[in-house]
């Protein structure tokens, strides 16, 4: 059975992107899904000096091992001031230092959400553009706009968005 890891790129305890990726994970059939929180892998702000002085944090190696042991990823990214969060960027920076092609052979579904009508589209575009540098293959992506209007009680309330998410998940599963 294929294995998928799912997480949000947010460190907020009330993350709407974590809610979205949790729901997306529940829709996956014929694959094992492991939902994690990146906050369980705390990393200091990356710097070359820190890397030279202290090496790689143990939590970084744990996270890399989890990614390596899965065939695909579902990632939902948030947006801060028109970009990805510093938290998620820091995770990518550390992972790419320990192993630049840390997504080698991995298929990726990228999601994003925000309270606004663009659904964190700028952060999504950045993420879908940068993950191939690490040898990840983005097979589908989807912005999820107006979270508060389209998601309630742990599920999508908008049929069009629900169908779009189901199709994106189907594309991911077919690519594995």
Query: What are the tens digits of pLDDT across the range 95-140?
Result: 999 999 999 999 999 999 999 999 999 999 999 999 999 999 999 9
CATH code for the domain of 126: 3.40.50.360
Provide the domain limits for residue 131: 2-175
This prediction's pTM: 0.96
- How far, CA to CA in Å, does 113 sit from each of 45, 61, 85, 105, 156? 25, 28, 13, 26, 12
Query: What are the tens digits of pLDDT across the range 15-66?
Result: 999 999 999 999 999 999 999 999 999 999 999 999 999 999 999 999 999 9
Give how many domains the chain has, as a whole number: 1
């Amino acid at each position: 059975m294929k294995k998928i890891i799912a997480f949000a790129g947010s460190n907020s305890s009330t993350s709407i992107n974590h809610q979205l990726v949790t729901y997306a994970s529940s829709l996956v059939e014929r694959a094992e899904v492991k939902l994690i929180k990146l906050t369980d892998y705390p990393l200091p702000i990356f710097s070359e000096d820190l890397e030279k002085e202290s090496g790689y944090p143990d939590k970084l190696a744990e996270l890399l091992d989890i990614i390596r042991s899965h065939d695909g990823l579902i990632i939902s990214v948030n947006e801060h001031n028109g970009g990805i969060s510093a938290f998620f960027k820091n995770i990518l920076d550390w992972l790419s230092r320990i192993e630049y092609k840390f997504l080698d052979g991995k298929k990726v579904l990228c999601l994003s959400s925000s309270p606004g009508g663009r659904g964190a589209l700028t952060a999504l575009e950045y993420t879908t553009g940068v993950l191939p540098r690490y040898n990840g293959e983005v097979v589908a992506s989807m912005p999820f706009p107006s979270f508060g209007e389209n998601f309630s009680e742990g599920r999508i309330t908008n049929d069009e968005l629900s169908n779009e998410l189901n199709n994106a998940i189907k594309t991911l599963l077919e690519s594995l």
